[in-house]
Structure 1
Amino acid sequence: MSAGGEHLKDEGTRGQVVLAGGIAGLVSRFCVAPLDVVKIRLQLQIHSLSDPLSHRDVKGPVYKGTISTMRSIVREEGITGLWKGNIPAELMYIAYGAIQFTAYRTTTQALSSLSPRLPQPVESFISGATAGGIATTTAYPLDLLRTRFAAQGTEKVYTSLLSSVREINRHEGARGFFRGCTAAVAQIVPYMGLFFAGYESLRPVLTSVDHMPFGSGDAVAGVVASVFAKTGVFPLDLVRKRLQVQGPTRERYVHRNIPEYKGVVRTIGLILRTQGVRGLYRGLMVSLVKAAPASAVTMWSYERALKLLMEAGVDV
C-alpha cells in the first residue's frame, strides 16, 4: 500500500474504485440510518427547547436530545420509523460513494501530473472539494427524497419512492428535485476539502500507531477529519434540510410549522432573526455523533473492499 496521499489515487482500477466506493456508501448508510433520521427531525424543529411557552402552538412532536427523539419516534411510528427514507438514502450513498471516490482518484491523478507538484494538503483539498461537489450535485434528487421521507410522521405524504418522484415532478417540476442544492454544494465543497486534507494528513501518522481504536488508523483518521469538517459547515447543512421540505407539502410533515424559506442567504437571515445563532446549529450534536462512525465505517469499508476486490481480481 502506498503512503500518504498516494493510497487513494494509485491503488486499484477505476472499476474497483467504483465498486469499493459504492460498497462503502451502502454499509455506512445502513449503520447510521437511525441517527440520520433523528438529525433531520431536529434540524426541522424551529421552536425553542429552552422556552416551554414556545411549544404551546406547536402542531407535532417536541424533540429534546438524541435518545429521547429516538424513543419518541419508536413510540409513535414504530421501530421502522428510524429507517424512514432508507431506500432513497441507500441509493444516494451508493451513487455518492462511487462518484466521490472515482472523481477523487481522477482529480488527484490529474494534479499529480502538474509540474511543479502542489503541496500534498492543497492537492487533497482540491481533489476532495471537486469530488464532493460533483457527487453531491449528481445524487442530489435522492438526497431530497431521503429528507422528505425522513420528515414524514404518521401521515404519509408520499406512499412510495415512485409516487414521490411522480408527485414532485407533477407539482414542482424538475427544479423541485434540486431545492436547496446551492446550500448543499456550498456545504460539501469545503467539507470534503477539509475532510480529505485532514484524512490524508492524519492517516500516515495514525496507521503507524499500534492498538488504535475502531480497528485501524484509517477509521480513526476518518473520525477526526469528519468531526473537524462537519462542525465548520453545519449551518449550511441545516439550511439545506429546511429548503428541501419547501413546496406544496411543507405543512404535512411531522413538524407542521416549518416556515417558508427562499434562498440560502435569506434562509440564514430568517433563522438568525427568529431563532438566533443557536438556531443554525440544531442537531449538531447528533450530526457529530453520526459523522464519526459514518466516516469511520466509510473509510474502513472502502479500504477493505478495495483490497478484497484487488486480491480477487474483481473489476467492472
Structure 2
Amino acid sequence: MSAKTKPLKDEGSRLEVVAAGATAGLVSRFVIAPLDVIKIRLQLQTHSLSDALSTHNLHGGPIYKGTLGTLRAIVQHEGLTALWKGNVPAELLYVCYNAIHFTTYRQSTLLLQRLAGPSRPLPRAAESFLAGAGAGATATAATYPLDLLRTRFAAQGNERVYPSLRRAVAQIARDEGPAGFYRGLAPALAQIVPYMGVFFAAYETLRALPLEGQLPFGAGDAVAGTLASVVAKTGAFPLDLVRKRIQVQGPTRGRYVHRNIPEYPGTMAGTVRVIVQREGWRGLYRGLTVSLLKAAPASAVTMWTYERALKFYGGLGGRKEDP
C-alpha cells in the first residue's frame, strides 16, 4: 500500500482502547514490580561500595551492589513482599497512565492524519514521534501524584514512613501542600516527551517489519516493544534518576532506607549539578542496568498485552466506529 493510500490509524473504539491500555498496565506492573523497586533503590543510592570501604559516614544506609545483590539484600532484610512495596499506587498509576496514554496516542495520531490529509501524509516515524510525545506528556501530568507515591513507598525500609496510601495522601497534603504531589514534574515531562516520542517512532517502525509471521505467539509486538524501549530508555535515563531524587525531598527525606539522600535545589538543572559534583557523571546512571532489564519485559508485556486485549475487546464490541 502506498503512502498516499494509507488509511487512518483507527485500532478500535475509544472504550476499547481505554480498556486495552488499562489491562496492559495492570498486567505489566505486576510482572515488573520487583525490578521497579530494585531500580528505585539503586537510583536513590548516592554512595557506592568503594565509599563504604573508605568512610563510615553513611548514616546507616544500606549498600546495594548490582541487581542481584540488591535483590538479595532487600529479601534478606525486609522479606520477599518488600519487592512489591508501593504496588497499590503503582498499579493505579500503570492502569490510569496506560489508559490515558494509549487513548491520547490514538486520538493524536488520528488528528495528525486528518490535518496532513491523504495527499501529503506525515512520515510514519514523525507521526508516531509527535503522537507519542504528546500522549506521554498528557498521561504523565495526569497521573504524576501516583508516581510520586509509588516512589516514596518503594523507598521505605523497615521503618514505615507512611502506614497506608490514605495516610500518605493526607500527610503529604498537610505537610507539603498540593505542590508536594508534583515534586519532580519538570524532569518527568522533560524525560517523557523524548522518551515516548522515540519509543513510539521506533515501535511503529519495527512493528512494520515482517516479524509477526516469523515469531510464535504473536511475539512481533513484544520484540518491537522491547527494542524500542531499550533505545528510548538509555537516552532519557538521567532525567528519570533526577526525578526520583526530587520526589523523595521534603520533611520525610531522612527517613527512607537511604538516610543520606542530599537536599537538592528545587530546579532540575540544580539537581543535576549537585549530583555531578558529588558523584560524577556516573551518578546520573545509577540503576541503568536494572532499568534496561525492567524496560524490556515491561514494554514487551505492555505492548503484547495491549494488542491482544484490543483484539479481544474489539471482538466483544464488534469494532464499531466512533461517531
Alignment TM-score, normalising by the size of structure 2: 0.93
Is 1:272 paired with 2:276?
yes
Mark the runs of 5 or more structure 2 residues left unpaired by the alignment.
none
1:218 Cα offset (Å): 0.4
1:146 Cα offset (Å): 0.2
Q: Deviations over 1:68-121 (max 9, x none)?
A: 111111111111100000000000000000000000000000000123322111
Closer, same or farther: CA 7–82 of 1 in aligned 2, 3 Å: farther
Letter in structure 2 aligned against 1:151: A
Larger mean CA deviation between 53-62 and 169-178 belongs to 53-62
* 2:290 alignment counterpart: 286
Closer, same or farther: CA 195–92 of 1 in aligned 2, 3 Å: same
Instruction: For 1:234 and 1:187, locate their aligned partners in 2 and report how far apart those are by CA, in whole Å.
Output: 8
**Residue in structure 2 matching 1:238, options 237, 241, 262:** 241
Letter in structure 1 aligned against 2:77: E
**Where do residues 76-225 of structure 1 align in structure 2 (5 Å cutoff)?**
76-115=77-116, 116-211=120-215, 215-225=218-228
* 1:30 alignment counterpart: 30
1:268 Cα offset (Å): 0.3
* 2:44 alignment counterpart: 44
Letter in structure 2 aligned against 1:67: L
SS at the partner of 1:10? coil
Closer, same or farther: CA 274–71 of 1 in aligned 2, 3 Å: same
Instruction: For 1:82 and 1:190, locate their aligned partners in 2 and report how far apart those are by CA, in whole Å.
Output: 29
Is 1:295 paired with 2:299?
yes
SS at the partner of 1:205? coil
**Where do residues 240-259 of structure 1 align in structure 2 (5 Å cutoff)?**
240-259=243-262
1:204 Cα offset (Å): 1.4
1:211 Cα offset (Å): 2.9
Instruction: For 1:124 and 1:138, locate their aligned partners in 2 and report how far apart those are by CA, in whole Å.
Output: 21
Letter in structure 2 aligned against 1:289: L
SS at the partner of 1:114? helix
Q: Deviations over 1:231-256 (max 9, x none)?
A: 00000000000000000000000000
Closer, same or farther: CA 301–238 of 1 in aligned 2, 3 Å: same
1:55 Cα offset (Å): 5.2
SS at the partner of 2:49? coil
Instruction: For 1:252 and 1:280, locate their aligned partners in 2 and report how far apart those are by CA, in whole Å.
Output: 23
Alignment TM-score, normalising by the size of structure 1: 0.95
CA RMSD of aligned residues (A): 1.8
Mark the runs of 5 or more structure 1 residues left unpaired by the alignment.
none
1:148 Cα offset (Å): 0.1
Instruction: For 2:73 and 2:264, locate their aligned partners in 1 and report how far apart those are by CA, in whole Å.
Output: 27
Letter in structure 2 aligned against 1:48: S
1:50 Cα offset (Å): 3.5
